[in-house]
């Protein structure tokens, strides 16, 4: 077995490998060079033999460039004679395009699945597809991990009293309900929202009681945070004491960070499934609306998904039950 990193996931790959090394006492890190031509063309080169190896490649496919890079790496590995190729995509891009919502539009999630398989991917490990049923687009084994496990210990360790778990819309009810199982004394509520177009909410109404409660909103992704900001306002109007937001994937596009710091959100928790762009690196923040919030108003926390991924790889290579190994709810 060898583990290789794509351009988008170098830090996460190192964390995964460090945890695997503690479990096994062995090193599994592989050497892969990603060359770039001056015109931007990508050329991946394995710097060691992968013949008859089980290759694990970590790459968040959140951009078109990362998808093309992934396809080229799969092709290179298969041509080099690898035994199997497992893509570990903590965040699988285009997962929101799981159905034909618009006249004459594509179904991007289905198309991506077909391309990855035709190139030579033999299995996929990912966390919280936007639509879990998109697993059916794949004809290879898919291990779909529950992102709730990443955040449960953090909430438990903070010993938050009067807890209410809130689903921000109908699509998040199952995810939030699963999260609620880890807190027997917590109550549950949901927000019914009407959306007139992507990233724009027409109206919201609360179903349930949050007065005097510390609220935790549970969702799969945080994009512009416009919805979360409005949800926090509604919940505070209804008497909530505090509002925390949990999102497995911190997409954070547009004015997301500005929306966070100007909102009534107490804290935003995301995983490192998508690498967070450093606020100081302004050249990479173009179009993301990164806001320089005061240091004393820290509302943003990243919790690594490396642990559940490492335990999943470990259980696979040792033929153990994945659910028992990582205690998925």
| 111 and 184 housed in the same domain | no
Q: How many domains does the chain have?
A: 2
Tokens in use for 107?
């179904």
Q: What is the pLDDT of residue 197?
A: 64
| 119 and 165 housed in the same domain | no
Q: What is the pLDDT of residue 321?
A: 65
| 141 and 264 housed in the same domain | no
Domain that holds residue 275: 148-304
| 81 and 37 housed in the same domain | yes
- Tens of pLDDT, residue by residue, the chain (329 residues): 999 999 999 999 999 999 999 988 889 999 999 999 999 899 999 999 999 999 999 999 989 999 999 999 999 999 999 999 999 999 999 988 888 877 788 999 999 999 999 999 999 999 999 888 899 999 999 999 999 999 999 999 999 999 999 999 888 999 999 999 999 999 999 999 876 665 566 689 999 999 999 999 999 999 999 889 999 999 999 999 999 999 999 999 888 989 999 999 999 999 999 987 544 333 333 444 444 445 445 788 999 999 999 999 999 988 766 555 555 43
Which CATH number characterizes residue 94's domain? 3.40.50.2020
**Residue whose entry in the numeric block shows the structure tokens 């998925």:** 328
Q: What is the DSSP-derived secondary structure letter of residue 185? A: T
Distance CA 46, CA 44 (A): 7
Q: What is the DSSP-derived secondary structure letter of residue 25? A: S
Q: Judging by DSSP bridges, how do beta strands 32-36 and 42-46 pair with one another?
A: antiparallel
**pTM score, whole prediction:** 0.89
| 24 and 155 housed in the same domain | no
Q: What is the pLDDT of residue 285?
A: 39
**Residue whose entry in the numeric block shows the structure tokens 């290179």:** 76
Tokens in use for 1?
């077995």
How many C-beta atoms lie closer than 10 Å to residue 140's C-beta?
15
Q: What is the pLDDT of residue 102?
A: 79
Active centre residues (catalytic): 193
| 314 and 282 housed in the same domain | no
Cα separation values, 20 from 10, 33, 152, 204, 312, Å = 15, 22, 22, 44, 10
Cα separation values, 157 from 29, 166, 241, Å = 32, 19, 19
Q: What is the pLDDT of residue 279?
A: 41
| 298 and 320 housed in the same domain | no
Q: Judging by DSSP bridges, how do beta strands 187-197 and 42-46 pair with one another?
A: unpaired
Q: What is the pLDDT of residue 50?
A: 97
| 177 and 143 housed in the same domain | no
């Amino acid at each position: 077995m060898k583990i290789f990193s794509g351009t988008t996931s170098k830090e996460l790959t190192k964390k995964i490998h460090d945890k695997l090394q503690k479990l096994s006492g062995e090193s599994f890190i592989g050497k892969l060079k990603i060359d770039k031509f001056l015109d931007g063309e990508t050329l991946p080169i394995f710097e060691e033999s992968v013949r008859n190896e089980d290759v694990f490649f970590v790459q968040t496919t959140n951009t078109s460039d990362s998808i093309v890079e992934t396809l080229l790496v799969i092709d290179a590995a298969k041509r080099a004679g690898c035994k199997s190729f497992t893509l570990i995509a903590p965040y699988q891009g285009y997962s929101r395009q799981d159905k034909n919502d618009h006249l004459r539009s594509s179904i991007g999630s289905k198309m991506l699945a077909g391309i990855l398989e035709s190139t030579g991917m033999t299995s996929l490990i990912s966390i919280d597809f936007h639509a879990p049923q998109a697993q059916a687009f794949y004809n290879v084994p898919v291990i779909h991990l529950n992102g709730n496990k990443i955040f449960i210990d953090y909430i438990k360790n903070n010993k938050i009293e009067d807890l209410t778990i809130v689903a921000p819309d109908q699509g998040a009810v199952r995810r939030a309900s699963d999260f609620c199982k880890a807190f027997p004394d917590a109550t549950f509520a949901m927000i019914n929202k009407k959306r007139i177009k992507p990233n724009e909410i027409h109206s919201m109404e609360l179903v349930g009681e949050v007065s005097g409660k510390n609220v935790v909103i549970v969702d799969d992704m945080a994009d512009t945070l416009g919805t979360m900001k409005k949800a926090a306002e509604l919940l505070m109007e209804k008497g909530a004491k505090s509002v925390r937001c949990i999102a497995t994937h911190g997409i954070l596009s547009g004015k997301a960070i500005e929306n966070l710091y100007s909102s009534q959100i107490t804290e935003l928790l995301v995983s490192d499934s998508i690498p967070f762009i450093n606020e100081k690196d302004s050249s990479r923040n173009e179009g993301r609306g990164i806001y320089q919030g005061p240091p004393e108003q820290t509302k943003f926390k990243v919790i690594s998904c490396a642990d559940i991924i490492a335990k999943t790889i470990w259980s696979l290579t040792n033929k153990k039950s994945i659910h028992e190994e990582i205690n998925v709810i």
